[in-house]
Structures are given as C-alpha cells and as structure tokens.
A and B are shown apart, each in its own frame.
Chain A
Amino acid sequence: DIQMTQSPSSLSASVGDRVTITCRASQGITSDLGWYQQKPGKAPKRLIYAASTLQSGVPSRFSGSGSGTEFTLTISSLHPEDFSTYYCLQYNTYPCSFGQGTKLESK
C-alpha cells in the first residue's frame, strides 16, 4: 500500500503569510493527488486535484504542484478563513490513502 507522509503536522502563521504544505508518497503516484481543507464539524472540501488543478470555485491563492512522489500545496497569502486543517490524498493505487493532516493555526 502507498503511504502518504504529510508535513508539517501543525503550522502557525499570520494573515498575509505565504504557506507551503508538503506530501511525500512512498512510491510514485504520477499526478494522482488531491488536497483537501476541512473545518471542524464539516465535510472536507477539495481544493486541488490532479496535483495542480484548482477545483472550481476555489480561490486562486491556493495552488498545487509536484508529481511522482513529492507534492506541495501553497497558499500565497493567508486569509482569515484559511486557518483550518489540510489533507493530501493519493488515488493512483487502491487503497487510496490520506496524509496525516496539517493544522494551520493563527500565530
């Protein structure tokens, strides 16, 4: 099975900061990766799929990059509503697998 290692597990930042979250796959997954945002008590919301394709309706300050085994989610300038938990998900090979999550908190 493919393991997804996400880092950091937590991150403190301020409004306006540029933030980067990384996921590493235990084997190559081409570009079969999504990034999700989840707020407490809510279902996840996908931000990025196919590693770099912005989901419809998601602000352009979110971007994704990478292929193979290394992937990044970047928020170019943090907005107050971006403080949340983020997950990556590989869907190249069943079973699909999520990263452990990154909790983004306000500094």
Chain B
Amino acid sequence: EVQLLESGGGLVQPGGSLRLSCAASGFTFSGYDMTWVRQAPGKGLEWVSGISGSGDRTYYADSVKGRFTISRDNSKNTLYLQINSLRAEDTAVYYCAFPPESSFDYWGQGTLVTVSS
C-alpha cells in the first residue's frame, strides 16, 4: 500500500525556517518524480515545487523560488522541502504527492505550517 506521511510543520516566526519531510512507502520511491502542493486556510490549491526521481531536476513556483528548496534522499525514501525566509502568506497545509503527470494519484495527509509572531 502506497503511503506518504508528511511531518515537520509547526509555528514559526516570520523570517524563520522549517524543513518539511515526506516519508514514502509501498512503492519504488526513486522511480517517481514527486511534488509539493500547499493550501492556505480557506484558499485554493497552489502547486509549490517538483523534483525528478533522481533529484537532478527541480522546479518551483515563482512565489517560493529562492526561498524554498526541494530535495530527496532515495536511500531513506524521503522527500524534503526546506522553507526559508518564511512569510505570513506561506501559512498553509503542505501536501506531498505524486506528480500530476503520473497515472497514479497519491497524496499525504498534509502538515500545517503557521507563520506568526
């Protein structure tokens, strides 16, 4: 059974940093590109970042470019999102998921990041 389990969210002050993790199981992790999507409270979905299966190609939304870094450790079956210089508008539930071009559709349960002083 495919499982994606996010962790690392929490309350952080503006300008702070967090590293989100997504532990994957039930499939050959290194064989799949992966994606982060977020949703601010009461708002729509926003695609945030993507990474190739080998980790050599990364992609970002303009709103996070230069502040967020996606990475993966295929030996640990784990996807990461390093988020720096946090702003109030980064407050959201962050989901890891299979990429939209995949025929498979799997999402984690999400982890909440709250940016507030």
Contacts and interface: CB of A to CB of B under 8 A. Distances in A.
Interface stretch (B7-15, B22-30, B54-62, B77-85): B54-62
B63 to A, nearest CB: 9
Given A43-B110, A45-B105, A91 B100 contact: yes
B117 interface: no
A97 interface: yes
A32 interface: yes
B100 A1 contact: no
Contacts of A89: 45, 47, 100
B45 A87 contact: yes
B105 A100 contact: no
Interface string A11-43: 000000000000000000000101010100001
Interface string B68-95: 0000000000000000000000000001
Contacts of A100: 44
Nearest to A55: B105
Interface residues of B, number: 22
Contacts, number: 54
Contacts of A91: 99-101
Nearest to A99: B44
Interface of A: 1, 32, 34, 36, 38, 43-46, 49, 53, 55, 87, 89, 91, 94-101
16 contacts: A32-B101, A38-B45, A43-B107, A43-B109, A44-B45, A44-B95, A46-B100, A53-B103, A91-B99, A91-B101, A95-B61, A95-B62, A96-B35, A96-B100, A99-B44, A100-B44
Interface of B: 35, 37, 44-47, 50, 59-62, 95, 97, 99-101, 103, 105, 107-110
